[in-house]
Amino acid sequence: MTKFLLIRHGAHLLGAETIAGRSPGVNLSPLGEEQVAQMIDRVAHLPIRAVYSSPVDRTLQTARPLAERLGLQVQVRETLSEVDYGDWTRKRLEEVRPLDRWRQWNSFRSGHRIPGGESMLDIQSRIVGEMLRLRAEHPDDACVALVSHGDVIKAATAWFLGVPIDLFTRIEIGLASVTAIAIGDYGPWVLCVNNTSRIELPA
């Protein structure tokens, strides 16, 4: 069995009202750095054998201090990357909220694609596929950390819970939170979602 810790990055300098997407140079804010330090204290006691990260700057800045604490190297995987927000990248939410395409995207995720970007089904396919591949690479490891982004983690959690992607917004994934999912020979188990306290995983 492989246990995955799906870790969201900390707060970044653009703030919650701007769609950062995959923009380079969007670094963690001082609050984000504090959130990451607290997250590391909550998970460092676990037997984490590998740390994988999205290539986006704010996730790397979340993954590197975790890996350093554990004596590991960060391994970058494009499949853990942020949603490709295409034409909406770096837009303020007040700019996109009036748009029909934005409202359609948020009400019917399974049936729409971001202009110039991804569909939610593409996102779910890449993150779930990566977790299944990593399970094959780490079949007997106690724990593997995946540092990624809110909607990507929601998409994976929805899949393993059997929740339709159009309802995945009911799942909350906060900044620097940890969601734990175990995958075994006979199925997955969602161990916790959006955890912001010390985690104890079953043996």
Considering its fold, how many domains does the chain have in total? 1
The secondary structure of 101-148 as a DSSP string is HHHHHHH-GGG-B-TTS-BHHHHHHHHHHHHHHHHHHSTT-SEEEEEE
pLDDT in tens, 11-59: 999 988 999 999 999 999 999 999 999 999 999 999 999 999 999 999 9
* CATH number of the domain within which 23 lies: 3.40.50.1240
Confirm whether 99 is domain-assigned.
no
> pTM of the predicted model, to two decimals?
0.96
- pLDDT for the residue numbered 201: 85
Domain containing residue 10: 2-84+119-195
